[in-house]
Amino acid sequence: MHDPAPDREPRGNERWILAAAFLLALGALGAIVVDDYEPAKLAPVFMLLSWFPLIALHELGHAVAARLVGWRVEQIVVGFGREALSFEVWGVPFVLKTYPLGGYVVPAPRRLEGIRLRSALVYAAGPLAELALVGGIALALGPEVLFARTDAVGVIALQAVAIAATLGAGLNLVPRRVETERGTSLSDGMGVLASLVRPAASFAAELRAAHEARVRGARDEASALAACEEAYAALGDDPHLRAVMIATLERVDADVEGRALPERVLSRLARGPSSLTGSRRGTRADARAAQGSG
Q: Is residue 6 part of a domain?
A: no
Say if strands 183-186 and 177-180 run parallel, antiparallel, or are unpaired: antiparallel
Q: What b/e string do you get for 183-218 counting C-beta neighbours within 10 Å, with b at 16 or more? A: eebbbbbbbbebbeebeeeebeebbbebbbebbeeb
Same domain membership, residue 237 and residue 161:
no
- Say what the alpha-carbon torsion angle 67, 71, 73, 79 is, to the nearest 10 degrees: -80
Q: Is residue 19 part of a domain?
A: yes
The SS3 call for residue 151 is coil
pLDDT at 164 over 80: yes
The SS3 call for residue 78 is strand
Integer-rounded Cα radius of gyration of the chain? 26
pLDDT at 275: 41
Q: Is residue 92 part of a domain?
A: yes
Q: Taking the chain, what is the end-to-end CA distance rounded to the nearest angstrom?
A: 53
Last residue of a domain, one of 171, 197, 223: 197
pLDDT at 257 over 60: yes
pLDDT at 210 over 60: yes
pLDDT at 215: 93
Same domain membership, residue 206 and residue 107:
no
C-beta of residue 80 within 8 angstroms of C-beta of residue 8: yes
Same domain membership, residue 172 and residue 86:
yes
Q: Is residue 4 part of a domain?
A: no
- 288 pLDDT band (50/70/90 cuts)? very low
Q: Is residue 8 part of a domain?
A: no
Same domain membership, residue 142 and residue 96:
yes
Domain extent for 110: 14-197
Q: Is residue 1 part of a domain?
A: no
CA 294 to each of CA 205, 280, 290, 291: distance values in angstroms, whole numbers, following the listed order:
50, 21, 6, 5
pLDDT at 192: 94
Beta bridge partners of 253: none
Last residue of a domain, one of 180, 197, 214: 197
**How much is the pTM?**
0.75
Structural domains counted in the chain: 2
Q: Which of 139, 134, 109, 123 is nearest to 54 (CA)?
A: 134
Same domain membership, residue 44 and residue 172:
yes
Q: What is the mean pLDDT of residues 85-92?
A: 83
Rounded Cα distance, 59 and 7, in Å = 15
Q: Which of 250, 203, 206, 211 is nearest to 228 (CA)?
A: 211
Q: Is residue 9 part of a domain?
A: no
pLDDT at 8: 44
pLDDT at 284 over 90: no
Q: Is residue 5 part of a domain?
A: no
Among 40-49, 54-63, 111-120, 174-183, the range scoring the smallest mean pLDDT is: 174-183
pLDDT at 21 over 90: no
Q: Which of 248, 246, 286 is nearest to 267 (CA)?
A: 246
Same domain membership, residue 235 and residue 190:
no
DSSP label of 112: S
Q: Which of 235, 268, 229 is nearest to 250 (CA)?
A: 268
Same domain membership, residue 216 and residue 167:
no
Same domain membership, residue 188 and residue 209:
no
Last residue of a domain, one of 197, 213, 240: 197
Same domain membership, residue 127 and residue 230:
no
C-beta of residue 105 within 8 angstroms of C-beta of residue 59: yes
- 272 pLDDT band (50/70/90 cuts)? low
Same domain membership, residue 28 and residue 168:
yes
Same domain membership, residue 238 and residue 187:
no
Same domain membership, residue 132 and residue 20:
yes
